DNA sequence: GCCAACGTTGGC
DNA sequence: GCCAACGTTGGC
């Protein structure tokens, strides 16, 4: 099991959209590092879903429901997509500010490389954010 | 192969 | 709306 964090601008595609749709194609990635991360995803891997630009918080958990295949939205180049399904919405969004405050999360890509849209998380990072997001059950 | 110019992302 | 960080492009 690997753990990931994916970013989406909520006015383009939000976690609520994912819950509504049930499954979505995670396409349009045009960055080699992010693409390689997509290709490293295994079936059932868990992804934290982060809202960029608006919200600025991790809002839920998704899982990989189909591993990588050629991105149908790519007109040229060697790009990949995966499918994702919702797992659970956070009861309390975990904001970027909170992530930056937590020393355990200082290596997280959101902090280290703000522009990367698909990044791996260590399991301790994943579960730390999970605890912060599901505290008010 | 280097590097300057440019475009894009995304936080503030 | 601004700007820093980063990736990509293209001239040499």
Q: How many CB atoms lie within 10 A of CB A105?
A: 20
Our measurement of CA A94 to C1' C5, in angstroms, reads: 24
CATH of the domain at A22: 3.10.590.10
Strand B contacts in A 10-39 (CB under 7 A): none
pLDDT of residue A136: 60
Residue span of the structural domain in which A52 resides: 3-132
In our burial notation (b when 16+ CB lie closer than 10 A, e otherwise), range A14-36 reads bbeebeeeeebebbebeeeebbe
Q: Give the predicted TM-score (pTM) of the model.
A: 0.93
Q: How many domains are contained in chain A? A: 1
What element of type H or E holds A33?
helix A32-39
On whether residue A12 sits in a domain, the answer given is: yes
How many whole angstroms separate alpha carbon A103 and alpha carbon A91? 22
Q: What is the mean pLDDT of each run of 10 residues along chain A (137 residues)?
A: 95 96 95 94 97 94 97 89 97 94 88 88 95 82
Q: Tell me: the pLDDT tens digits for A98-137? A: 999 999 998 887 877 888 999 999 999 999 999 999 986 5
| Rounded distance in angstroms from the CA atom of residue A54 to the C1' atom of nucleotide B7 | 22
């Amino acid at each position: 099991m690997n753990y990931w964090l994916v970013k989406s601008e909520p006015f383009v595609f939000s976690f609520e959209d994912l819950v509504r749709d049930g499954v979505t194609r995670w396409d349009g990635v045009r960055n080699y590092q992010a693409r390689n991360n997509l290709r490293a995803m295994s079936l059932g891997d868990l992804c934290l879903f982060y809202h960029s630009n608006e919200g600025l918080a991790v809002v839920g958990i998704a899982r990989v429901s189909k591993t990588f295949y050629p991105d149908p939205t790519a007109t040229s180049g060697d790009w990949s997509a995966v499918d994702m399904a919702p797992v659970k919405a956070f009861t309390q969004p975990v904001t970027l500010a909170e992530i930056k405050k937590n020393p355990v999360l200082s290596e997280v890509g959101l902090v280290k490389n703000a522009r990367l849209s698909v990044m791996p998380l260590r399991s301790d990072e994943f579960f730390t954010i999970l605890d912060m997001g599901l505290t008010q059950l």
